[in-house]
Amino acid sequence: MADNKPKKPHAIVIPYPLQGHVIPTVNLALKLASQGFTITFINSESIHHQTSKAQAKTGVELFAKVRESGLDIRYTTVSDGLPVGFDRSLNHDQFMASLLHVFSAHIEEVVAQIVASGEDVHCLIADTFFVWPSKIAKKFGLVYVSFWTEPALVFTLYYHLDLLRLNGHFAREDCRKDTIDYIPGVKGIEQKDTTSYIQETDTTSICHQIIFSCFNDAKNADFVLCNTVQELEPETISALQAKIPYYAIGPIFPNDFSKTVVATSLWSESQCTQWLDKKPHGSVLYVSFGSYAHVTKTDLAQIANGLSLSKVSFVMVLRPDVVSSDDTEPLPVGFQEEVADRAIIVPWCRQKEVLAHPAIGGFLTHCGWNSILESIWCQVPFLCFPLYTDQFTNRKLVVDDWKIGINLTNRKVITKEEVSDNINRLMCGESRDEFRNRIKEVKKILENAVSPTGSSEKNKVQFIKDLKAKIEKIAQAKCSKCNGHA
């Protein structure tokens, strides 16, 4: 009798082609490969090109080193439909339109080639924001695993967009402003704490089309993996689990937290360690707005002037396109000279290495989910300045629910005085100690979750077991079909 049991599950893994999605997806691929999976990682040509350029090593492939260490990770690239050199940051909507309309055709071609080569492929692990995975998975007889890189709270808001719409909290000019209290597993959330897309009244944008389509598609997923921790969002996750097979397996970090095993940075990383080594313990504020969102020049000026006023030492990451790739010198005139004796400003850094440095005592952040998980891991409390997408909801979790940070501003208009006051609240005195004690407790939750008996580890083991059972079921169904035809 033929042995239809797959010896090794083979997963095609596809990250959303944005920095904050590529990083956790690479880490997930590494985790699964070290559990005995064969992985075929499909990167967009543009991300491949940018990461290679950042390393100043063209032609070197992302996983070459880990493959030498015995992991079975294959790698290929595919066009997202636009030329490699196209400025995706400046032409955001065009980029998103390409991901919505064109990317799937290229992906389908590559998946077809892999399958046609005779490879025994079993599942497709793709970012939830893609609009096509369930269709491609179905076409090629693959199990579809949807990977969500943001908190479960954000997932559930999108998952229940129909409820938000029905209740008048979404997609109308005169949106209700009272508390949203009918989403399963969410006690109550204000409209201002939902994602930027849910708050917008015009819902005809490309990003809205993506969100509508991708959550329709995600409802067909066989499994959903989420980079969060069960104990951080217990009710939300339980409510989701009543509807779909949902596994909280975060935080998904490399085994050695601050070591780079696979180079994923889109910009070349400046060294900050030597400068930090000379600073007292917990005295330096780390400032970064992540990889994607833009800050207005006016807000950036107030933040810069607030930093200047605060007298606190800081490391500031100023991405070349942080305001716009059209404006490469967005800081106020004279600012850099004024703070030169207590600050370094770099275009990009090794964030995990910086956060893990003992000199860092606070993080002025845009509230990207990776940044939040990384900073909790390093026990660095937050000064929150959400800009876009899920960051407003992430802020709520950090400030209102877990109480491990404060808002950069509580007004519509930022002032340098408020920025400076809040920096000092986070970095000095009794309030500083409170945040640091509290974040120690939250770090413990993360640490426990990834320990051998912790929830994320158990959920990962359960997911692998369930996935293998599903793969086997599909193989058996195929086999009996063949026998039936014979």
Decide if residue 459 touches ligand UDX (CB under 6 A). Answer: no
- At a CB cut-off of 8 Å and minimum separation 6, what does 486 contact? none
For helices 152-159 and 206-218, the axis angle rounded to 10 degrees is 90
Going from the C-alpha of 361 to that of each of 106, 285, 379, 427, the distances in angstroms are 45, 6, 9, 6
Find residue 13's DSSP bridge partners: 41, 125
Among 44, 46, 128, 291, binds ligand UDX (CB under 6 A): 291
To ligand UDX, the closest distance from the beta carbon of 274 in angstroms equals 17
DSSP 269: P
Quick one: 368 or 454, whose CB is closer to ligand UDX?
368
Residue 334 φ/ψ, nearest 5 degrees: 90, -15
CA 386 to chain centre: 14
Decide if residue 20 touches ligand UDX (CB under 6 A). Answer: yes
Decide if residue 9 touches ligand UDX (CB under 6 A). Answer: no
To ligand UDX, the closest distance from the beta carbon of 152 in angstroms equals 12
To ligand UDX, the closest distance from the beta carbon of 288 in angstroms equals 5
Decide if residue 374 touches ligand UDX (CB under 6 A). Answer: yes
Positive or negative, the Cα torsion across 319, 364, 349, 444?
negative
Decide if residue 391 touches ligand UDX (CB under 6 A). Answer: yes
Among 50, 195, 288, 308, binds ligand UDX (CB under 6 A): 288
Positive or negative, the Cα torsion across 308, 310, 315, 316?
negative
CA 16 to chain centre: 10
To ligand UDX, the closest distance from the beta carbon of 198 in angstroms equals 14
Quick one: 9 or 368, whose CB is closer to ligand UDX?
368
Residue 145 φ/ψ, nearest 5 degrees: -110, 120
Q: How is residue 413 written in tokens?
A: 């208009």
Q: Which of 312, 321, 361 is nearest to 19 (CA)?
A: 321
- Candidates 29-37, 57-65, 170-178, 349-357: pick the segment binding ligand UDX (CB under 6 A): 349-357
Site for ligand UDX in 296-335 (CB under 6 A): 317
To ligand UDX, the closest distance from the beta carbon of 188 in angstroms equals 22
Decide if residue 88 touches ligand UDX (CB under 6 A). Answer: no
Report how many residues bind ligand UDX under the rule CB under 6 A: 27
- Candidates 18-26, 207-215, 320-328, 474-482: pick the segment binding ligand UDX (CB under 6 A): 18-26
Q: How is residue 194 written in tokens?
A: 């939902």
Quick one: 289 or 435, whose CB is closer to ligand UDX?
289
To ligand UDX, the closest distance from the beta carbon of 271 in angstroms equals 12
Decide if residue 233 touches ligand UDX (CB under 6 A). Answer: no
Distance from C-alpha of 106 to C-alpha of 130, rounded to nearest angstrom: 13
Per-residue exposure over 81-95, b if at least 16 CB sit within 10 Å of its own CB, e if not: bbeeeeebbeeeeeb
Quick one: 10 or 353, whose CB is closer to ligand UDX?
353
Decide if residue 292 touches ligand UDX (CB under 6 A). Answer: yes
- Candidates 14-22, 246-254, 450-458, 477-485: pick the segment binding ligand UDX (CB under 6 A): 14-22
Contact between 342 and 308 under an 8 Å Cβ cutoff? The reply is no
CA torsion, points 382, 384, 390, 392, in degrees to nearest 10?
130
DSSP letter for each residue of 24-71: HHHHHHHHHHHTT-EEEEEEEHHHHHHHHHHHT-TT--TTHHHHHTT-
Among 11, 13, 17, 19, binds ligand UDX (CB under 6 A): 19
- At a CB cut-off of 8 Å and minimum separation 6, what does 381 contact? 362, 363, 375, 404, 405, 426, 432, 435, 436, 438, 439
Quick one: 135 or 350, whose CB is closer to ligand UDX?
350
- Candidates 82-90, 126-134, 247-255, 287-295: pick the segment binding ligand UDX (CB under 6 A): 287-295
Decide if residue 390 touches ligand UDX (CB under 6 A). Answer: yes
Decide if residue 351 touches ligand UDX (CB under 6 A). Answer: yes
Find tokens 């980029």 and name the residue.
95
Decide if residue 21 touches ligand UDX (CB under 6 A). Answer: yes
To ligand UDX, the closest distance from the beta carbon of 233 in angstroms equals 14
Decide if residue 363 touches ligand UDX (CB under 6 A). Answer: no
Decide if residue 370 touches ligand UDX (CB under 6 A). Answer: yes
Decide if residue 148 touches ligand UDX (CB under 6 A). Answer: no
To ligand UDX, the closest distance from the beta carbon of 163 in angstroms equals 23
To ligand UDX, the closest distance from the beta carbon of 388 in angstroms equals 7
Going from the C-alpha of 336 to that of each of 28, 277, 350, 370, the distances in angstroms are 39, 21, 21, 28
Among 122, 160, 352, 470, binds ligand UDX (CB under 6 A): 352
Contact between 148 and 370 under an 8 Å Cβ cutoff? The reply is no
To ligand UDX, the closest distance from the beta carbon of 456 in angstroms equals 17
- Candidates 38-46, 87-95, 212-220, 386-394: pick the segment binding ligand UDX (CB under 6 A): 386-394
Q: Which residues bind ligand UDX (CB under 6 A)?
A: 18-21, 23, 149-150, 265, 288, 290-293, 317, 348-352, 368-371, 374, 389-391
